[in-house]
């Protein structure tokens, strides 16, 4: 026991350590951060001593300095960091979904560091509306009469339901009551918007007559939800949107589709499965459609609401709209991204999400060869490396079971397990995220950016070099 008391007494003094580190960092680091880092290290050590069962080793001054500096470095790093996405999932929700093009990023940066005409009409000199900045573009591209944009698609769904059916009923097919990642469930959102959900049909099949029978005095909306992240196969049937629209018209009930991903290009022309486009949904005659800005659209996080003018006007005037409104950075980058869609080739070329989805496996393989050339001799004998065919995913809840043919660098470390490798790669700067498959750790080149290939090679060489040195 006495031993422990002595050890505790010998722990470094916080104030002295802060003094040394302040000098070391030349007063460039806030003292509060230094203090927290020092306290954290000493507290951890105190716990080690208290829990020690006899083999505790006292730290040298150098050990302590290294500990403090590592703890401080960690605190100085931003919490939101760039990562290298080697998962091959293009619209990876956990890794930030869509990337913006350099051009869109510039538009965003301009809006961030300069005053803008966000709500100022430059023609009249009077107050303007932030929605008018993108409304025309959305309408021209989709064929909608009117549109507005809010924080994300979940907000869009909430706002539309609250505006059009609060206190009333909305009819939805059982097969479409989906849960999107992050616990977004259609039935829960409906509850929050004050809408009573009327489920119709069986899980696998819903017929027009199911909707017809369910319509009552209380029905305000027929809602179709795109089953983004799952597919039903086998004995299934859904009511075509056009039939729902006809029914709605006959009975004087509004029809809405939550499209989820929101695609403006027919991707089946690019060897991808057919997804309904926003234009098709609008031309089928729905009153309102909602979709995400950062899924297949390839823009910033946003929820786009488009449809009939009368309906959109009501939604715009809902006070809830103010709480869900889109910020100027999003608007700037969204406008920039949307403008590409006037020319399909331009969109495919300039919007990173679309470029990554449509790039040929041959080009992906080329990127892999470039990486492999830099690695091959350098990683041996600590890690075997080869270029192998693999499949990527679209992600973002779109085309769930579709496999995009791709190429990956497969790493097979000799001295550490795949799980350790995976964990250590998450600690690199920047972190490298891949996936373990069969006997290897895979880095899919589809989602590794062109300008990351050389950086990644250096990171891998550095990692295995350090591994060897520590052995
Ligand atoms: C993704 C998705 C949402 C939520 O959109 P966010 O932009 O993530 O808020 C809503 N509905 C469907 C069908 C979706 O696929």
CA of 154 to the centre of ligand 1 (A): 6
Looking at the CA of residue 294, tell me the nearest atom of ligand 1: 7
Residue of minimum CA distance from atom 11 in ligand 1: 260
Evaluate: CB of 303 within 6 angstroms of ligand 1.
yes
Distance CA 274, CA 290 (A): 19
At 470 the pLDDT is 53
At 2 the pLDDT is 56
Place of tokens 């206190």: 167
Q: Is the pLDDT of residue 184 over 90?
A: no
Q: What pTM did the predictor assign? A: 0.92
Angle between helices 453-469 and 361-379 (to 10 degrees): 30
At 421 the pLDDT is 97
Distance CA 338, CA 138 (A): 8
Could you tell me the domains of the chain? Answer: 2-74 (no CATH), 84-92+359-470 (3.90.1150.110), 100-350 (3.40.640.10)
Q: Give the tokens for residue 456.
A: 């990644």
Evaluate: CB of 154 within 6 angstroms of ligand 1.
yes
Q: What share of the chain in percent tops pLDDT 70? A: 96
pLDDT tens digits, residue range 216-245?
A: 999 999 999 988 666 667 777 788 999 999
CA of 259 to the centre of ligand 1 (A): 8
Distance CA 224, CA 248 (A): 12
Looking at the CA of residue 228, tell me the nearest atom of ligand 1: 15
At 205 the pLDDT is 81
At 119 the pLDDT is 96
Place of tokens 């916080």: 14
Evaluate: CB of 395 within 6 angstroms of ligand 1.
no
Residue of minimum CA distance from atom 6 in ligand 1: 153
Average pLDDT over residues 190-219: 90
Q: How many CB atoms lie within 10 A of CB 227?
A: 17
Q: Is the pLDDT of residue 412 over 50?
A: yes
Mutate to test the pocket of ligand 1, among 96, 161, 260 (most ligand atoms within 8 A of CB): 260
pLDDT tens digits, residue range 386-403?
A: 999 999 999 887 777 789
pLDDT tens digits, residue range 58-90?
A: 899 899 999 999 999 989 999 999 999 999 999
Distance CA 362, CA 359 (A): 8
343 vs 56: which has the higher pLDDT:
343
Place of tokens 């305000």: 220
At 97 the pLDDT is 94
Distance CA 143, CA 139 (A): 5
At 471 the pLDDT is 47
At 377 the pLDDT is 80
The mean predicted confidence, pLDDT, of the chain is 92
Do 447 and 99 touch, CB atoms closer than 8 A?
A: no
Q: What share of the chain in percent tops pLDDT 90? A: 77
At 182 the pLDDT is 64
Highest mean pLDDT (candidates 174-178, 231-235, 246-250, 375-379): 246-250
Residue of minimum CA distance from atom 13 in ligand 1: 260
Length of the chain as a residue count: 471
Evaluate: CB of 186 within 6 angstroms of ligand 1.
no
CA of 260 to the centre of ligand 1 (A): 5
Evaluate: CB of 151 within 6 angstroms of ligand 1.
no
Place of tokens 């373990």: 436
Lowest mean pLDDT among 26-35, 200-209, 346-355: 200-209
Helix (H, G, I), strand (E, B) or coil at 151: coil
Evaluate: CB of 152 within 6 angstroms of ligand 1.
yes
- Residues 99, 100, 102, 108: is their CA dihedral positive or negative? negative
Looking at the CA of residue 303, tell me the nearest atom of ligand 1: 7
CA of 261 to the centre of ligand 1 (A): 7
Mutate to test the pocket of ligand 1, among 177, 292, 398 (most ligand atoms within 8 A of CB): 292
381 vs 106: which has the higher pLDDT:
106
pLDDT tens digits, residue range 302-358?
A: 999 999 999 999 999 999 999 999 999 999 999 999 999 999 999 999 999 999 999
Mutate to test the pocket of ligand 1, among 94, 231, 258 (most ligand atoms within 8 A of CB): 258
Burial class (CB in 10 A: 0-12, 13-18, 19+), 2: exposed
User: What single-letter DSSP state applies at residue 58?
Assistant: P
At 4 the pLDDT is 85
Mutate to test the pocket of ligand 1, among 94, 397, 400 (most ligand atoms within 8 A of CB): 397
Distance CA 387, CA 108 (A): 37
CA of 223 to the centre of ligand 1 (A): 14
Evaluate: CB of 337 within 6 angstroms of ligand 1.
no
Distance CA 380, CA 419 (A): 20
């Amino acid at each position: 026991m006495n031993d422990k008391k002595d050890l505790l007494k010998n722990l470094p003094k916080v104030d002295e350590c802060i003094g040394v580190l302040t000098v070391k960092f030349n007063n460039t680091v806030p003292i509060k951060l230094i203090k927290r880092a020092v306290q954290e290290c000493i507290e951890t050590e105190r716990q080690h001593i208290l829990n020690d069962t006899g083999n505790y080793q006292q730290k040298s001054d150098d050990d302590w300095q290294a500990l403090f500096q590592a703890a401080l470095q960690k605190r100085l790093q931003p919490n939101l960091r760039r990562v290298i996405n080697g998962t091959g999932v293009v619209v990876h929700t956990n890794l930030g979904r869509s990337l913006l093009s350099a051009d869109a990023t510039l538009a965003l940066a301009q809006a961030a560091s300069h005053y803008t005409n966000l709500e100022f009409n430059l023609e009249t000199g009077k107050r303007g509306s932030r929605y008018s900045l993108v409304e025309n573009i959305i309408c021209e591209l989709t064929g909608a009469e009117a549109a507005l944009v809010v924080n994300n698609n979940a907000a869009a769904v909430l706002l539309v339901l609250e505006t059009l059916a609060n206190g009333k009923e909305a009819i939805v097919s059982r097969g479409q009551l989906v849960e999107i990642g992050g616990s977004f469930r259609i039935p829960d959102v409906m509850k929050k918007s004050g809408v009573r959900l009327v489920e119709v049909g069986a899980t696998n099949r819903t017929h027009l007559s199911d909707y017809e029978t369910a319509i009552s005095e209380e029905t305000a909306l027929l809602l179709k939800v795109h089953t983004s992240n799952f597919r039903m196969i086998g004995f299934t049937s859904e009511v075509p949107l056009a039939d729902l629209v006809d029914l709605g018209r006959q009975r004087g009930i509004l029809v809405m589709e939550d499209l989820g991903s929101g695609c403006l290009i027919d991707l089946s022309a690019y060897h991808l499965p057919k997804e309904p486009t926003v234009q098709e949904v609008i031309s089928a005659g729905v009153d309102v459609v909602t979709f995400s800005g950062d899924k297949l659209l390839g823009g910033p996080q946003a929820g786009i609401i488009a449809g009939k003018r009368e309906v959109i006007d009501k939604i715009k005037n809902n006070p809830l709209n103010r709480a869900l409104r889109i910020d100027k950075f999003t608007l700037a980058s969204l406008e920039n991204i949307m403008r590409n869609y006037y020319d399909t080739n331009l969109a495919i070329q300039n919007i990173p999400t679309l470029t990554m989805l449509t790039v040929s496996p041959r080009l992906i393989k080329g990127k892999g060869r470039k990486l492999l050339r830099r690695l091959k001799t350098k990683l041996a004998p600590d890690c075997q490396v080869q270029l192998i065919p693999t499949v990527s995913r679209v992600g973002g809840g779109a085309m769930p079971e579709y496999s995009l043919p791709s190429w990956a660098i497969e790493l097979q470390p000799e001295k550490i397990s795949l799980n350790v490798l995976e964990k250590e790669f998450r600690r690199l700067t920047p972190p490298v995220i891949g996936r373990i498959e069969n006997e290897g750790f895979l880095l899919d080149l589809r989602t590794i950016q062109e300008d990351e290939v050389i950086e990644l090679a250096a990171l891998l060489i550095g990692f295995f070099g350090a591994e060897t040195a520590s052995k």
